[in-house]
Chain A
Amino acid sequence: MVNLTIDDKQVTAPKSATIYEAAKINGIKIPILCHDKKLKPFGACRMCLVEVEQMKGRQIPACTTPVTDGMIIRTSTPDIIKARKMVLELLLLNHPIDCPVCDKGGDCDLQNLTYEYQVNANRFSDEKFHHEIDYSNPLIERDMNRCVLCGKCARICDEIVSFGALTFISRGIETKIGCEFEGSLNCEFCGSCVSVCPVGSLLARPFKFKARFWALTNQKSVCSYCGTGCNLTLGVKDNKVLTTVYDENQGFHNGQLCCRGRFGYQFINSDKRLTTPLVRKGGALMEASWDEALELVATRLRGAGASAAALATPRLTNEELLLFKKLMEAAGSANYDHSAGYAHAALTKGFARSFGATASPSTILDIQKSDLLLVIKTDSYETHPVIGFEINMAVKNKGAKLNILSDKRGKLSKLPDAKTFVHTPGSEIAVINSLAKAILDEKLAAGSAVSIPGYADLEKALAGFTPDAVAVQSGLSAAAIKQLASDYAKAEKALIIFPVGNAYPGHNADMASAVANLALLTGKLGTEGSGVLCMAEKNNSQGAVDMGFYATSGLQAGQIMDGCASGAIKTLFLAGENPVVSYPNRAVVTTALDKVEFLVVSDLFMTETAAMADVVLPACSFAEKEGTFTSVDRRVQHIKPAIRKVGQSRTDFEIFSTLIAKLGGQAPAAPAAVFGEIAASAPGYAGMSYAALGETGAFAPVDITPAFVVPKTVAVEPAAGKLALVIGSVLYHNGTLSQFGEGPMYVCPEGYVELSRGDAAKLNVAENDLLNVTSAAGSTKLKARISSRMPEGVLFSPYHFGAAEINRVWSGAPVTWVTVTK
C-alpha cells in the first residue's frame, strides 16, 4: 500500500494501482473515455488528466500513471477543467451531433461528458467526417463518423476475444477504426466491441432504434445457453426483452458474453412461441384448455409405473428438475434422464467412480491461476466461448502454457505458443492412457499416487499403452506423446479442460476416468490452478446431475428410446428436449416416438419433436421464471422473472406441480421451498439458502475420494476409402434452442460439413457445394465448407440444425465413417 494525497484527502492505494484506480477506490471520480478496467492501460483520450505536484504540476493521464508514495494529486483544478473542455471541443469538432437519432443517446460517455463540462459552443470549426457506414452485417453497425478513437473495440477484440477483427487504420486526421483491407466486419460477433464502445460508433443492430436506454428496465439473469453460467442483464420494455445490457461488474467474466448470450435472446419474445396447450384430436393438434390437457396427461401417468418415462432438457431449473423427478416417482416410474445416457456419462459415471463425486473438482477461476492448460478438443472454445476468453487471458496475460489434444484445430490453436496435438478421431482415450503410461515410465508420477486405490491395476492395464504403440493408431508421434506427458507432469499447476455434450460420443465416462487418472497420478488435484474441469453442455447440465435427474435404477435416455420402440414404454414425457434433432440416429428416434402410445412435450416452440406429440404444453423461457441454475463449476445462481409469461404459457414448475397434485401428491408451492429441499439433500448444496444466493451465487463444494479406474478403449478401425465424421458444437449455437435466437441464426443459419483443403481437392469439392454424406445409418445433403483447420480424412458437422438432419448419418458411435459424393 502507498500513501498519497488526492484532492487534499489523505488516501491509500495498492502499489500496483494507477492514479485513476487509486482515486476510484477512494470514491473520487476522474472522467475517462478510453480506459476500461478489463483492458490494459492505453492513454489515448486525455480525458483523465490530473495534476501531480511532484511532476511540477504538469498534467498527466491518470489512467496510465502508477501511483507512488507521497504523490500529491489534484483532479479538478480550473486548468484541468479547461484542458478537459478542450479535449471535448476537439472531439466534437468532427463528431456529428446526431444524438436524437443515435442509439447511444442517453448512454453515451461523450454526451454525458459534454453535458457535465458544459461544452455548449466550440471555438474551433472543421468539416464533419464522411466515412461510409457499415450496414453489411445484421448484428453490428459501424458508423466511424462518431468514433472517438479510444481503441477499446480493437483492444477488447484482441486482448480478450483474441479475434483481432478491428484495428486502427490510416494516420493522423485520417485515422479510423477498420477491418482488414477496410472491408466489412466478418468476425465471431460476440459483441464485446459494441459493449465497450463509449459512443454510438458500434451499435447492436437487433436493438437498433428499439428504445432509449433510460426506458429499459434491467433485470439481472443468467444466460440460458451453455454451462459457463455467464451473468447477463436483460433490457426489458413493454414486457419484451429488447436487448442484453452490458454490465462490466457482472460475474467472474466482468460482463463478457459470447454471440449467443449477447445476440441470442430473441427466442424469448419470438412470435413462434407456443401460447396455448394443444391436444391431438383426429390426427391434428388442436387448441385446448390447460385443464383438459393436464387432465389427459395425469390420466396417462396415474399408476403408469415403469411404462412411463421422462426426458428433460438440462435447461430447466434445479427446482423444476427435482419436481419432475417427484412427478415420475408419483407415477411410479424410475425412468428419467436428461440425456445423460448420451452426453453426461463423463460426470455421472466417470467422475463418480474416479472422484467419488459427480462434479468437476476445479472451477473456471482456476484457469487464470494455472501454469499449464491441457485442453482436450479445441471445441472447448466453441462450446463455452467465455471460458475460451479466460483461456486466452491466462495464456496472454499470465503466461500459462497451452497444450491442446484434439481431432481438429480450432481457435485456441492460434493462441501464442499453443501446441496442438491432432490425433485421429476416436483415439483420444488411448492417447490419454499413453500419457499416463509415459508419466509412469518417466517416473514423473507423484509419490502419493501409489496409495490411491486401483494403482496396481492401472499400472498393469496401461502396459499396452506405450507411446510407441499408441502413436501408430493415434497419428501422433511417440515423441509428441512423451512431450505432452512431461509438459503436463512437470508443470507446477496444471489444469485439464474438456467439454462434454450430446454430440461428443467419445467424451464419455471412460474419457473422464482416463483424464482423472492423469491428475491423480501427478497429484495435480485439489490445489488452486490444478485439477480437472469437465464442461457439460447446457446451462444447467451440472444441476441436472446434482439433482439426480439421470438413470440410477431406471432406464437411460437411449434405453428409453428403445423401450418406446419395443412398446415397453407407453407414455413418454419430454420437457424441453428435442431428441429428433439432437439425439443420434434420427431414424431410430422418430420410429420410437411414432411407436410410443402417448407423447407429451412441454416446450417453448413447435419443435420437430413437439410436432409428433399427443399433448403439447406451452412452457416458459428462463426470462419468465425463477429458480436456480448450476454452472459447469458448480456455481449455483439465481434467476428471476424479467417479463410476464407469454400467452397462456406456464413454467415447467407449475406444470409439474399441477400434475403432482392431480396424481394425489403434494408439491411444494414455490421454487424457494424446493430449494430448501435441495439444500437439505443434494451433495454440496448443504447450507445454501435461496435468499443468500444473491447476485453472485454460491459455489457448491466438491469432496473427492480418489480411485484409479481402468478406462475402456474402443479400437476405431479406419474404414478404407471412407472419411471420419465427427459431430460437435459450433461457436454460435448451443443445443437446438439457439435456432430460435435470430442473432446466432444470422451468423450461422444452417448445417454444413467442414472438410480439409486436401480432401476438398481430392473430391473436387468447392465451397458451398452440396454434398451427399452417407454412412451405414443413412444419408443427408449438406453444404461444404472448406477450412484449413481440419486434418485430412476428417469431416466435421454441427448437430444443432433440424433441417440439416446430420443425425440421419451420425449414429452415436465415437466415429462415424462416411462417404461423400457431390
Chain B
Amino acid sequence: MNPITPIINGLKITLSHLFKKPVTLQYPTERPKVAQRFRGLHALNVSHNKAKCVACYLCPTVCPAKCITVEAGEDANHDKYAARYEIDMLRCIFCGYCVEACPVDAIRMTGEFELANYRRQDFVYSKERLLEKK
C-alpha cells in the first residue's frame, strides 16, 4: 500500500469534522439527555406511601460490590419492612443487578449521574435519601 494513503485517509476524517456540529456539551449550562436504560443513582420505589422494599435481602446478596446494607424490621402488623437500607456509592459499580434481583420492583436506577461530593460519608445513601428521588 502507498505509504501516503493512510495519512490522507486520516486527514479526510479530520477535514470532515471541521464542517460538523461539535459534540461537546457546554456542561453545566448544557445538560445531556441520558438514555432510558442509563444506570445512574438508585431510587427506592414507593407504594401506599411507603417504600416498596420488603427487605428480602436479595439485592445485598446479589450485589457483586457488596455495597448494599439492608436490615429488616417488624412493623406493628408483624410485617417485614426495611428498617435500614443503605448503598455505599463509593463501592457501587452500577451493574444494576440489584434492580434485576428485586422480586417486588422496589428499587430502580435513575438518570442521575452527578454524584460528586466532598466527604466520603456523603456517598452513603440512606433509605431516606434514596426515597427522595423521583
Q: Which A residues contact B (CB, under 8 angstroms)?
A: 99-101, 105, 133, 135, 141, 208-212, 214-215
B56:A214 contact, CB within 8 angstroms = no
Interface flag for B126 (CB, 8 Å): no
User: Cβ of B56: which chain A residues have Cβ within 8 Å of it?
Assistant: 99-101, 105
A-B contact pairs, 29 of them (CB 8 A): A99-B56, A99-B103, A100-B54, A100-B56, A100-B58, A100-B103, A100-B104, A101-B54, A101-B55, A101-B56, A101-B79, A101-B80, A105-B56, A133-B78, A135-B78, A141-B78, A208-B74, A209-B55, A209-B72, A209-B73, A209-B74, A209-B80, A210-B72, A211-B57, A212-B57, A212-B61, A214-B61, A215-B57, A215-B61
Q: Which residue of A lies closest to B72 (CB)?
A: A209
Helix, strand, loop or mixed for chain B's interface? loop
Which 6 A/B pairs are nearest by Cβ-Cβ distance?
Answer: A100-B56, A209-B72, A101-B80, A212-B57, A100-B103, A101-B54
Q: Which residue of B lies closest to A143 (CB)?
A: B78
User: Cβ of B78: which chain A residues have Cβ within 8 Å of it?
Assistant: 133, 135, 141
State the CA gap A99–B54 with chains docked (Å): 11
User: Cβ of B104: which chain A residues have Cβ within 8 Å of it?
Assistant: 100
User: Cβ of B74: which chain A residues have Cβ within 8 Å of it?
Assistant: 208-209
State the CA gap A99–B55 with chains docked (Å): 11
State the CA gap A212–B57 with chains docked (Å): 7
User: Cβ of B103: which chain A residues have Cβ within 8 Å of it?
Assistant: 99-100
Q: Which residue of A lies closest to B58 (CB)?
A: A100
Helix, strand, loop or mixed for chain A's interface? loop
Q: Which residue of B lies closest to A209 (CB)?
A: B72
Q: Which B residues contact A (CB, under 8 angstroms)?
A: 54-58, 61, 72-74, 78-80, 103-104
State the CA gap A655–B96 with chains docked (Å): 50
State the CA gap A215–B59 with chains docked (Å): 12
Shortest CB–CB separation between residue B107 and chain A, in angstroms?
13
State the CA gap A168–B73 with chains docked (Å): 32
Shortest CB–CB separation between residue B70 and chain A, in angstroms?
10
Shortest CB–CB separation between residue A258 and chain B, in angstroms?
26
State the CA gap A99–B57 with chains docked (Å): 11
Q: Which residue of A lies closest to B69 (CB)?
A: A238
Shortest CB–CB separation between residue A462 and chain B, in angstroms?
63
State the CA gap A420–B104 with chains docked (Å): 59
State the CA gap A100–B79 with chains docked (Å): 11
State the CA gap A99–B103 with chains docked (Å): 9
State the CA gap A100–B56 with chains docked (Å): 5
State the CA gap A214–B54 with chains docked (Å): 18
User: Cβ of A209: which chain B residues have Cβ within 8 Å of it?
Assistant: 55, 72-74, 80
Q: Which residue of B lies closest to A212 (CB)?
A: B57
User: Cβ of A210: which chain B residues have Cβ within 8 Å of it?
Assistant: 72
User: Cβ of A215: which chain B residues have Cβ within 8 Å of it?
Assistant: 57, 61
State the CA gap A795–B103 with chains docked (Å): 58
State the CA gap A241–B57 with chains docked (Å): 18
User: Cβ of B58: which chain A residues have Cβ within 8 Å of it?
Assistant: 100
User: Cβ of A212: which chain B residues have Cβ within 8 Å of it?
Assistant: 57, 61
User: Cβ of A211: which chain B residues have Cβ within 8 Å of it?
Assistant: 57
Shortest CB–CB separation between residue B91 and chain A, in angstroms?
17
Starting from the known contacts A101-B55, A210-B72, A212-B57, 18 additional A-B residue pairs (CB-CB under 8 Å) come to A99-B56, A100-B54, A100-B56, A100-B58, A100-B103, A101-B79, A101-B80, A105-B56, A133-B78, A135-B78, A208-B74, A209-B73, A209-B74, A209-B80, A211-B57, A212-B61, A214-B61, A215-B57
User: Cβ of A135: which chain B residues have Cβ within 8 Å of it?
Assistant: 78
State the CA gap A141–B56 with chains docked (Å): 18
User: Cβ of A133: which chain B residues have Cβ within 8 Å of it?
Assistant: 78
User: Cβ of B80: which chain A residues have Cβ within 8 Å of it?
Assistant: 101, 209
State the CA gap A210–B74 with chains docked (Å): 10
Q: Which residue of A lies closest to B106 (CB)?
A: A100
User: Cβ of A99: which chain B residues have Cβ within 8 Å of it?
Assistant: 56, 103
Q: Which residue, of A105, A211, A212, has the highest number of chain B Cβ atoms within 10 A?
A: A212
User: Cβ of A208: which chain B residues have Cβ within 8 Å of it?
Assistant: 74
User: Cβ of B73: which chain A residues have Cβ within 8 Å of it?
Assistant: 209
Q: Which residue of B lies closest to A100 (CB)?
A: B56
User: Cβ of A101: which chain B residues have Cβ within 8 Å of it?
Assistant: 54-56, 79-80
State the CA gap A101–B104 with chains docked (Å): 11
State the CA gap A210–B58 with chains docked (Å): 13
User: Cβ of A141: which chain B residues have Cβ within 8 Å of it?
Assistant: 78
State the CA gap A210–B79 with chains docked (Å): 13
Q: Which residue, of A100, A135, A209, A211, has the highest number of chain B Cβ atoms within 10 A?
A: A209
Shortest CB–CB separation between residue A140 and chain B, in angstroms?
13
User: Cβ of A100: which chain B residues have Cβ within 8 Å of it?
Assistant: 54, 56, 58, 103-104
State the CA gap A211–B73 with chains docked (Å): 11
State the CA gap A209–B61 with chains docked (Å): 15
State the CA gap A211–B79 with chains docked (Å): 15
Shortest CB–CB separation between residue B60 and chain A, in angstroms?
8
Q: Which residue, of B57, B58, B61, B73, has the highest number of chain A Cβ atoms within 10 A?
A: B57
State the CA gap A211–B56 with chains docked (Å): 9
State the CA gap A3–B28 with chains docked (Å): 81
Q: Which residue, of A101, A105, A141, A208, has the highest number of chain B Cβ atoms within 10 A?
A: A101
State the CA gap A99–B58 with chains docked (Å): 11
Shortest CB–CB separation between residue B53 and chain A, in angstroms?
10
Q: Which residue of B lies closest to A211 (CB)?
A: B57
Shortest CB–CB separation between residue A314 and chain B, in angstroms?
38
State the CA gap A100–B58 with chains docked (Å): 8
Q: Which residue of A lies closest to B73 (CB)?
A: A209
State the CA gap A100–B82 with chains docked (Å): 12
Shortest CB–CB separation between residue A99 and chain B, in angstroms?
8
Shortest CB–CB separation between residue B51 and chain A, in angstroms?
14
Shortest CB–CB separation between residue A347 and chain B, in angstroms?
46
State the CA gap A99–B80 with chains docked (Å): 12
Shortest CB–CB separation between residue A12 and chain B, in angstroms?
43
State the CA gap A614–B103 with chains docked (Å): 57
Shortest CB–CB separation between residue A240 and chain B, in angstroms?
12
Shortest CB–CB separation between residue A318 and chain B, in angstroms?
39
Shortest CB–CB separation between residue A805 and chain B, in angstroms?
36
State the CA gap A105–B55 with chains docked (Å): 12
User: Cβ of B72: which chain A residues have Cβ within 8 Å of it?
Assistant: 209-210
Q: Which residue of A lies closest to B82 (CB)?
A: A209
Shortest CB–CB separation between residue B37 and chain A, in angstroms?
25
State the CA gap A568–B80 with chains docked (Å): 60
Shortest CB–CB separation between residue B121 and chain A, in angstroms?
19
State the CA gap A209–B72 with chains docked (Å): 6
Q: Which residue of B lies closest to A205 (CB)?
A: B74
State the CA gap A215–B57 with chains docked (Å): 9
State the CA gap A135–B77 with chains docked (Å): 10
State the CA gap A338–B132 with chains docked (Å): 60
State the CA gap A244–B27 with chains docked (Å): 56
State the CA gap A215–B78 with chains docked (Å): 22
State the CA gap A716–B61 with chains docked (Å): 66
User: Cβ of B79: which chain A residues have Cβ within 8 Å of it?
Assistant: 101
Shortest CB–CB separation between residue A245 and chain B, in angstroms?
17
State the CA gap A99–B73 with chains docked (Å): 16
State the CA gap A361–B103 with chains docked (Å): 58
Shortest CB–CB separation between residue A737 and chain B, in angstroms?
27
State the CA gap A504–B104 with chains docked (Å): 58
State the CA gap A209–B73 with chains docked (Å): 7
State the CA gap A141–B58 with chains docked (Å): 23
State the CA gap A182–B54 with chains docked (Å): 30
User: Cβ of B57: which chain A residues have Cβ within 8 Å of it?
Assistant: 211-212, 215
State the CA gap A180–B103 with chains docked (Å): 38
Shortest CB–CB separation between residue A438 and chain B, in angstroms?
59
State the CA gap A718–B58 with chains docked (Å): 67
State the CA gap A214–B58 with chains docked (Å): 11
Shortest CB–CB separation between residue B49 and chain A, in angstroms?
19
User: Cβ of B61: which chain A residues have Cβ within 8 Å of it?
Assistant: 212, 214-215
State the CA gap A671–B102 with chains docked (Å): 47
Shortest CB–CB separation between residue B102 and chain A, in angstroms?
9
State the CA gap A214–B78 with chains docked (Å): 23
Q: Which residue, of A100, A135, A208, has the highest number of chain B Cβ atoms within 10 A?
A: A100
State the CA gap A101–B74 with chains docked (Å): 11
Shortest CB–CB separation between residue A139 and chain B, in angstroms?
14
Shortest CB–CB separation between residue B54 and chain A, in angstroms?
5
